[in-house]
């Protein structure tokens, strides 16, 4: 039974309904053999013997037998990790582990391929993704979808409206669209399989580029690089990096994204149980254009998102705009079990390039702009507007 100590992973805290929300730590190093870890356990430890005795009593003597052995072991592991008092040292069952992976890396779905947000009772298209049915059908950023299949969007919740746009691959959905001040018109869009994305870009007014990173997964660095390649076909005056609502993810993904904006320096420091600091360096990478950079953050920007924000701010590459970040400064190693579950142990802290811990404190933005409840990325987003104003002024 092998366990993998995966490459630089930020774990997750578990909330209601298995909602996995905030990333929490590095996973460093190469693969670790679980049998090697297991063989190092001291079976002469009286506490281990007592646990095995309790397991024997429950499985052999309880009136309520038989038991699901996996359920017993899961409960025991979960209880043991909970007893550490660290909310980020935790056990994930196979379904929870799969949900964590889907949240981190996204999952494929059948739809039209557009980022949409609720907007005054309608759906606003924030960005049609390249090479998708939305783009092929001529949909554009800031288009408003008022009806889906003849049903008014105002009669549905945002989630229900988005679910109605999704559907079987090859089927067609008819959208009623309002563009600017023009009359509503209908667009027929043939649904297709849309690959998961964690980052996308678009051009804003005033020759500004905008990249939103939803999480830091396996493909994030490549998606940011692709977005930058598309944006730099324009003569950019500045770039907005939107990390709001980003729960984090793989730290090596954050390291590589940061390295697209810096030529040298330190991304972060990690501090182990020996209290020694180890630098996480900027990596050689193709560089983004050296234009003014603004980063949007909020209370839901956590871990890898905070590492990215702190690295670019401490290295004097970007200004932070928005509200104070979440403040997740602990790190974990993740051990995968053979049945698809995992154990996540907090074993490190991380510090900013200026060697500051942000744990339980967060990062204070350079320019504070309060949250208003407006869905981020829309045309009436005050934090986005503040970033646009900052960059336009900076570029003058």
DSSP codes, 33-78? -HHHHHHTS-TT-HHHHHHHHHHHHHHHH-TT----HHHHHHHHHH
Residue 271, pLDDT above cutoff 80: yes
The rounded distance, in Å, linking the Cα atoms of 95 and 98 is 5
Query: Any idea which residue has 């932070």 for tokens?
Result: 320
CB distance 148 to 164 below 8 Å:
yes
Question: What is the share, in percent, of the chain residues with pLDDT greater than 70?
Answer: 87
Q: Is 91 helix (H, G, I), strand (E, B) or coil?
A: strand
What is residue 21's predicted lDDT score, i.e. its pLDDT? 30
Given this model, what pLDDT does residue 311 score?
98
What's the mean per-residue pLDDT of the chain? 85
Which pLDDT value is given to residue 41? 57
- Percent with pLDDT over 90 in the chain: 60
Q: State the number of CA atoms in the 13 A half-sphere of 299 facing the CB.
A: 5
Q: 23-58: per-residue pLDDT in tens? A: 334 343 323 334 444 445 566 788 888 999 999 999
What is the DSSP annotation of 373-391?
SPPTTSTT-HHHHHHHHHH
Other Cβ atoms closer than 10 A to 225: 17
pLDDT at 5: 30
Look at 7-16, 150-159, 252-261, 325-334 and tell me which has the smallest mean pLDDT. 7-16
> How large is the angle between the packed helices 69-82 and 46-61, nearest 10 degrees?
140
Q: How many CB atoms lie within 10 A of CB 44?
A: 7
CA dihedral defined by 372, 375, 378, 383, rounded to 10 degrees? 40
pLDDT, one tens digit per residue, over 127-186 is 888 789 999 999 998 899 999 999 999 999 877 898 899 999 999 999 999 998 899 999
Residue ranges of domains in the chain, CATH in brackets: 12-105 (no CATH), 109-194 (2.30.42.10), 199-330+340-395 (3.90.226.10)
According to DSSP, residue 347 is labeled E
Rounded CA separation 283/11 (Å): 23
Q: Which alpha helices (H) appear in the chain, and where do they start and end?
A: 34-39, 46-61, 69-82, 94-105, 133-136, 158-165, 220-231, 251-259, 304-314, 382-395
**19 vs 232: CA distance, rounded Å:** 37
Tokens (6 digits) for 275? 């209290």
Sign of the alpha-carbon dihedral angle for 321, 240, 226, 170: positive
């Amino acid at each position: 039974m092998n366990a993998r100590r995966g490459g630089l992973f930020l774990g997750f805290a578990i909330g209601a309904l298995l909602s996995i929300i905030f990333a929490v730590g590095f996973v460093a190093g190469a693969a670790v053999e679980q049998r090697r870890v297991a063989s190092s356990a001291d079976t002469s430890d009286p506490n281990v013997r007592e646990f095995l005795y309790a397991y024997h009593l429950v499985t052999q003597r309880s009136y309520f037998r038989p038991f699901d052995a996996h359920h017993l072991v899961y409960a025991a592991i979960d209880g043991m990790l909970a007893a550490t008092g660290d909310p980020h040292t935790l056990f994930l069952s196979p379904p929870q582990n799969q949900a964590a992976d889907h949240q981190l890396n996204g999952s494929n779905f059948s739809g039209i391929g557009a980022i949409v947000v609720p907007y005054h009772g309608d759906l606003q298209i924030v960005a049609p993704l390249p090479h998708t049915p939305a783009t092929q059908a001529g949909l554009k950023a800031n288009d408003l979808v008022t009806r889906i299949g003849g049903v008014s969007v105002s009669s549905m919740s945002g989630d229900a409206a988005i679910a109605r746009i999704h559907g079987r691959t090859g089927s067609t959905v008819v959208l009623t669209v309002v563009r600017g001040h023009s009359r509503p018109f209908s667009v027929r869009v043939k649904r297709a399989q849309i690959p998961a994305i964690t980052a996308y870009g678009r051009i804003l007014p005033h020759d500004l580029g905008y990249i939103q990173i939803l999480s830091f997964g396996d493909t994030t660095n490549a998606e940011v690089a692709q977005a930058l390649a598309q944006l730099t076909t324009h003569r950019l005056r500045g770039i907005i990096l939107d990390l709001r609502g980003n729960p984090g993810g793989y730290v090596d993904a954050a390291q590589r994204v940061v390295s697209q904006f810096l030529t040298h320096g330190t991304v972060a420091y990690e501090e182990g149980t020996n209290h020694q600091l180890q630098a996480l360096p900027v990596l050689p990478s193709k560089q983004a254009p050296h234009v003014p950079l603004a980063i949007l953050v909020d209370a839901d920007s956590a871990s890898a998102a905070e590492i990215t924000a702190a690295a670019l701010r401490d290295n004097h590459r970007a200004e932070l705009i928005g509200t104070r970040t979440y403040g997740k400064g602990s790190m974990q190693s993740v051990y995968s079990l053979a049945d698809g579950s995992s154990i996540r142990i907090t074993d490190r802290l991380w510090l900013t390039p200026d060697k500051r811990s942000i744990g339980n404190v967060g990062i204070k933005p350079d320019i504070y702009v309060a949250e208003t409840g407006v869905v981020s990325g829309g045309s009436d987003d005050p934090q986005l507007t503040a970033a646009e104003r900052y960059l336009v002024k900076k570029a003058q």
